[in-house]
C-alpha cells in the first residue's frame, strides 16, 4: 500500500507506530504465535491505521513458500459447474482458506495434455494441492503428489502411505440407504452407480450389495449413471426399455436421482408407490425434486474445511491424521 506521497508503507513504519520491534511485526504478519496479546493488538491497529499490505513476494523468498495452494479437479468444466457436490466442497475450502495466509488456485482438467498443469504445479509455484474427484486414468495426479504435499478429497484409487485423504464413509452411507428401502418393504432394489473408475462409486456399490446380502436378497439391476443428470435419466430409461423389474432404486448421487425421477415420471411411474428412490448427497437438489428426495447426507462443506486443515497442518510441519473419515446420515423425505 502506498502513502499519499507515493512511498510504500514499510514494516519498520508499522513497528514504530505500534511501539514494537520489526521482528514482532513480522511474527504477527506471518501468523506466528510468540506475540503477547497487547503487542498483537498494537500491531494490528498500526497495520489498519497505515493501510499496510505485506509484501508477499519478499515473504515467499524468506520462507521459501509461495503461499499458494492448488485446487485440482480432474473433471471437465460441465461436470464441475453442474454438480452441486463440487459447489459445497469448494465453499468449505474457500471459507477455510480465507482464514489462512494462502491463496487458492483452481485447476479444472479431466486430463493434462502436454503435462501443462503437472509441470506448473511441480515447478515450485504452489506449496501444496487439494485434489477433489479423481479417476483411475488420472495418473498425472500421482506425479503432482510426488512433488508437493497433496490432500485428496475421497479415497485415492491407488492409496499410498504418503497420501493424506478426507472422505465420507461411502460404504456405510449406501448401506443405510438400502436398509431403509428394505425396511419399507421393497424387495427388488436396483442401483444407479457413478463411474466405476471412481472410489466413491465403487464404495457405494459395495454398500448396496452388502445391505442386500445381509437381508438375504438378490441384487437388482445395476446401471452406470456417470454421476450426471443426463446419465441418471438415460440409466432409468435403459432399465425401463429392457423390462427390468424393480420396486426401488438406490441412486448414488442426488444429481443422477433428479434425472432418474424425471425419466420415471415421463414413463408414467408413480413415486414412491411404484418405485421408491433414495439418493446420496443431500444437496439443494434433494428438496427441489418432486417428490422431495430421501437421501444420504454427506458433510461436503465440512469435507472441504477438513482438507484445508490437513494440508495446512502438513505445510506447518505437523502430523495430521493420514485418513479422515466423516460420517453420513439418512434424511427421510417423500420419495422413499
Q: What is the pLDDT of residues 2-37, one digit of tens each?
A: 444 445 678 888 889 999 988 888 777 765 557 788
**What integer pLDDT is reported at residue 61 of this predicted model?**
43
C-alpha to C-alpha distance for 51 and 38, rounded to whole angstroms: 20
**What integer pLDDT is reported at residue 64 of this predicted model?**
57
Residue 290 predicted with pLDDT over 80: yes
**Weakest mean pLDDT among 27-41, 253-267, 279-293, 318-332:** 27-41
**What integer pLDDT is reported at residue 73 of this predicted model?**
86
Angle (CA) 46 48 52, round 5°? 85
Q: Residue 284: which of 76, 77, 72, 91 has the closest Cα? A: 91
Give 271's Cβ-side CA count (13 Å radius): 25
Residue 321 predicted with pLDDT over 80: yes
Residue 135 predicted with pLDDT over 60: yes
Q: What is the mean pLDDT of the chain?
A: 87
State in Å, rounded, how far the first CA of the chain is from the last one.
58
Contact 284, 84 (CB under 8 A): yes
Helix (DSSP H) and strand (DSSP E) numbers for the chain: 14, 12
C-alpha to C-alpha distance for 63 and 81, rounded to whole angstroms: 35
Residue 55 predicted with pLDDT over 60: no
C-alpha to C-alpha distance for 278 and 213, rounded to whole angstroms: 18
Beta strands at 128-132 and 276-281: parallel, antiparallel or unpaired: unpaired
C-alpha to C-alpha distance for 141 and 130, rounded to whole angstroms: 10
Q: Residue 313's pLDDT band (boundaries 50, 70, 90)?
A: very high
Residues contacting 221, CB < 8 A, separation 6+? 190, 191, 239, 242, 244, 246
Residue 46 predicted with pLDDT over 90: no
Residue 193 predicted with pLDDT over 80: yes
Across residues 36-47, what is the average pLDDT? 86
Contact 335, 271 (CB under 8 A): yes
**1 or 147, which is more confident:** 147
**What integer pLDDT is reported at residue 30 of this predicted model?**
63
Q: List pLDDT tens digits, range 211-242.
A: 999 999 999 999 999 999 999 999 999 999 99
Angle (CA) 52 54 58, round 5°? 145
Give 4's Cβ-side CA count (13 Å radius): 0
Q: Residue 302: which of 183, 119, 80, 153 has the closest Cα? A: 153
C-alpha cell at 263: 425419466
Strand partners, 68: 103
Phi/psi of residue 221, nearest 5 degrees: -65, 145
**What integer pLDDT is reported at residue 44 of this predicted model?**
83
**75 or 275, which is more confident:** 275
**SS3 category, 237:** helix
Contact 164, 322 (CB under 8 A): yes
Amino acid at each position: 500500500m502506498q502513502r499519499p506521497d507515493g512511498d510504500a508503507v514499510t514494516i519498520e513504519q508499522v513497528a514504530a507506530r505500534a511501539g514494537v520491534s520489526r521482528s514482532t511485526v513480522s511474527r504477527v504478519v506471518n501468523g506466528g504465535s510468540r506475540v503477547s496479546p497487547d503487542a498483537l493488538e498494537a500491531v494490528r491497529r498500526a497495520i489498519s491505521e497505515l493501510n499496510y499490505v505485506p509484501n508477499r513476494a519478499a515473504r515467499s523468498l524468506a520462507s521459501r513458500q509461495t503461499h499458494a495452494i492448488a485446487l485440482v479437479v480432474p473433471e471437465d468444466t460441465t461436470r464441475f459447474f453442474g454438480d452441486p457436490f463440487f459447489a459445497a466442497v469448494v465453499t468449505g475450502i474457500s471459507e477455510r482458506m480465507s482464514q489462512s495466509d494462502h491463496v487458492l488456485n483452481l485447476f479444472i482438467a479431466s486430463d493434462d495434455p502436454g503435462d501443462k498443469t503437472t509441470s506448473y504445479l511441480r515447478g515450485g509455484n504452489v506449496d501444496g494441492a487439494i485434489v477433489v474427484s479423481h479417476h483411475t486414468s488420472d495418473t498425472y495426479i500421482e506425479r503432482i503428489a510426488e512433488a508437493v504435499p497433496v490432500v485428496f478429497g475421497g479415497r485415492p484409487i491407488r492409496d499410498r502411505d504418503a497420501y493424506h485423504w478426507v472422505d465420507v464413509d461411502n460404504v456405510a452411507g449406501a448401506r443405510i440407504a438400502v436398509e431403509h428401502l428394505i425396511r419399507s418393504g421393497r424387495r427388488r432394489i436396483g442401483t444407479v452407480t457413478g463411474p466405476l473408475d471412481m472410489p466413491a462409486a465403487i464404495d457405494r456399490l459395495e454398500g448396496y450389495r452388502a445391505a442386500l446380502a445381509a437381508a438375504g436378497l438378490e441384487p437388482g439391476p445395476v446401471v452406470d449413471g456417470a454421476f450426471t443428470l443426463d446419465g441418471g435419466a438415460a440409466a432409468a430409461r435403459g432399465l425401463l426399455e429392457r423390462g427390468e423389474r424393480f420396486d426401488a432404486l438406490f441412486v448414488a448421487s442426488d444429481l443422477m436421482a433428479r434425472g432418474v425421477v424425471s425419466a420415471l415420471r415421463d414413463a408414467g411411474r408413480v413415486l414412491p408407490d411404484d418405485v421408491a428412490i433414495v439418493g446420496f448427497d443431500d444437496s439443494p437438489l434433494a428438496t427441489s425434486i418432486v417428490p422431495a428426495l430421501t437421501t444420504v447426507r454427506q458433510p461436503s462443506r465440512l469435507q472441504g474445511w477438513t482438507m484445508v486443515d490437513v494440508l495446512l497442518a502438513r505445510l506447518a510441519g505437523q502430523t495430521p491424521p493420514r485418513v479422515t473419515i466423516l460420517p453420513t446420515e439418512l434424511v427421510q423425505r417423500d420419495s422413499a
